[in-house]
């Protein structure tokens, strides 16, 4: 047949086949896998917030711990701001909560001024709490890391129901479990945390679509 010319076969192999393969893979089950829950129903951030204005409920949150020497945390926090915060600033109900102990207001003020000079701070939340409350809250995360002077180089991803999300098959972790993301590693922020936040948002988007689909189906049955 003249349709299957050598030129058309070559074009199919070079351009059309890879596109079809991509479409098949992009709708495969792997892309609908939910981000693992590592710790369920952690303490809500409102429990250590004296103002009671902040919550994990209905938000996708990243929580970080600045500790007693927030100046040392500045490089990591700035990297988190550039690689993650600015990428998701306009996403619905996204927030980064930075927890710090009482007595650190001056240091935290300097950090906030540094960030605000080139950042819209609307989804940055700085939360002051006591040492006991911070320790208790961190323990509730049940991670495989410890705080150092109430600080951590790792940030944690919390879903809308107050569960700690992460990885159970991370190639760089000994047991495969990845509870937190190292803010001093640009590659971790860009290739792991950013991807996982997108997966979490897509998880909720897919659930929303499925819910609406089911509603439409029930409506058709009634009619």
pLDDT for 1-39, tens place per residue?
555 566 666 555 555 555 555 444 444 433 457 899 999
Token representation of residue 157: 């991803």
- pTM to 2 decimal places: 0.82
Confidence of residue 212 (pLDDT cuts 50, 70, 90): confident
Question: Are β-strands 124-129 and 94-101 bridged in parallel, bridged antiparallel, or unpaired?
Answer: parallel
Strand (E) or helix (H) holding 182: strand 181-182
Q: List CB contacts of 56: < 8 A, sequence separation 6 or more.
A: 42, 44, 45, 158, 159, 160, 162
Whether domain 34-207 has CATH 3.40.50.2300 = no
């Amino acid at each position: 047949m003249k349709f299957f010319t050598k030129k058309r076969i070559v074009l199919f192999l070079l351009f059309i086949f890879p596109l079809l393969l991509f479409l098949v893979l992009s709708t495969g089950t792997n892309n609908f896998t939910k981000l693992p829950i590592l710790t369920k129903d952690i303490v809500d951030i409102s429990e250590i917030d004296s103002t009671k204005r902040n919550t994990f409920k209905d938000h996708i949150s990243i929580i970080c711990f600045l500790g007693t020497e927030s100046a040392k945390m500045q490089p990591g926090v700035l990297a988190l701001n550039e690689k993650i915060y600015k990428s998701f600033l306009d996403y619905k109900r996204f927030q980064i909560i930075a927890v710090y102990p009482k007595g650190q207001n001056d240091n935290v003020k300097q950090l906030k001024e540094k960030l605000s000079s080139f950042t819209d701070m609307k989804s940055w939340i700085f939360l002051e709490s006591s040492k006991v409350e911070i320790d208790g809250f961190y323990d509730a995360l049940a991670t495989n890391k410890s705080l150092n002077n109430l600080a951590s180089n790792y940030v944690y991803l919390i879903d809308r129901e107050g569960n700690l999300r992460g990885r159970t098959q991370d190639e760089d972790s000994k047991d495969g479990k990845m509870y937190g993301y190292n803010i001093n590693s640009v590659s971790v922020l860009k290739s792991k945390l950013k991807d996982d936040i997108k997966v979490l948002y897509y998880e909720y988007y897919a659930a929303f679509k499925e819910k609406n689909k089911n509603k439409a189906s029930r409506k058709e049955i009634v009619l």
